Amino acid sequence: MLKLTPAMGWNSWNTFGNEINEQLIFDTADTMVDSGLLSHGYEYLVIDDCWSEKTRDESGHLVPDHVKFPHGMKAVADYVHSKGLKFGMYSCAGNLTCAGYPGSYEHEFIDAQTFASWGVDYLKYDYCFHSPLIHGKYLYRRMGLALENCGRDILFSACSWGADETQEWIKTTGASMWRSTGDIVDTWNSIRDLTLQQEKLHPYNGVGCFNDMDMLIVGMHGKGNVGLAGCTDVQYRTHFSLWAFLSSPLMIGCDIRNMDETTKKILTNDELIAINQDPAARQPYRVHVDFGYPRNEDVIIYVRHLVGGKLAVGFFNLSDKKAASHLNMDELGLPVSCGKTLSLHNVWDGKTYTVDNGTFHWTLEPFDCGVFVADIIDL
């Protein structure tokens, strides 16, 4: 399946790990609709690892855990589909999944057919316990071919963590998205590290195969399977802004059944979602923070060209100190001599600013961000 914009949805792993079951999925499906998440674009409901029995059946088929999913996966998929959502599942390119359940190595075609028969629309495909003798590109090409020939459109979400120089071969596999980093955990340092790792990979992102920076931790507050220290709402807002701005798939990881209004407000910012879903998915570029001064590595300014001639401009403070930043219009191709400037609309507070004298000044509180949609206007 070719996905032309980054996938949006919910994944069970960050909060629930192996504590998953049929009722949790039904309740989450209900919440995705009732809370309005579906109407904002979150369409995939994905069950991660730990859903199967520990052995295949006598015919070599994967078997859902009889206790966790007593009515089988077809019944789960049917319920998810009845809510207007799409259904996702998990497997692995190794003999075992990361949690020790049967993987799809040398069962690629039979597993793809099984997923299709259950009504699966999305497959997250991990990279644990894989053969050390076979390069990852061959393993992912196998499953890519199996999915393309299973008789159903299934989005292929490759999760090889960027190992084996994934960026160099992932587009040969048929994957629509690929995990370009290691696992996220619910800490600010994890957000910061994954953001910085991504910069060298920006040229590999784009329509048809999006860099996946891992699931969102917005709203977790230290709870769940990857809970750890937790983050503040300001940090979660910056986290969401970065993932959206950089065209990462937006897969929610918190327990949406209990999300508070602040979490919901962050996840449903339609202007940021529109940046994420911009059909061109153009590469961002980084500009200098302080014109005429050394680059401040703790403050990042990214710019993206959007369809229709607008720009997205993002200011991100990765540090625990207040920081000033200054954006010079020359770097955007808008010197004062061209007779144009920018009208900047802040997607978080709704205020609009006009750039004067070829320079825009923006002060950032610790860990905070400012994201703008900019129109080019006459001076």
**Residue (of 137, 143, 58, 69) closest to 103 by Cα position:** 143
Residue type, 302: Y
Per the listing, tokens 């040398």 go with 106
Catalytic residue among 153, 183, 233, 290: 183
Catalytic residue among 126, 186, 214, 368: 126
- 121 counts as catalytic: no
Give Cα 281 distance to the centre of its chain: 14
The CA-CA-CA angle for residues 284, 3, 176, to 5°, reads: 80
Per DSSP, helices labelled H in the chain are 13-16, 22-34, 72-82, 108-118, 136-148, 188-198, 233-245, 261-267, 270-276
- 183 counts as catalytic: yes
What percent of the chain is helix, strand and coil (3-state, nearest 5)?
30, 25, 45
Q: Which region holds residue 317: left if phi is over 0, alpha if psi is between -120 and 50, else beta?
A: beta
Lookup: tokens for 38: 């579906």
User: What does the alpha-carbon distance between residue 96 and residue 332 come to, in Å, rounded to a whole number?
Assistant: 49
Other Cβ atoms within 10 Å of 369 Cβ, number: 24
User: What does the alpha-carbon distance between residue 240 and residue 191 come to, in Å, rounded to a whole number?
Assistant: 10
Instruction: Supply the residues annotated as catalytic.
Output: 126, 183
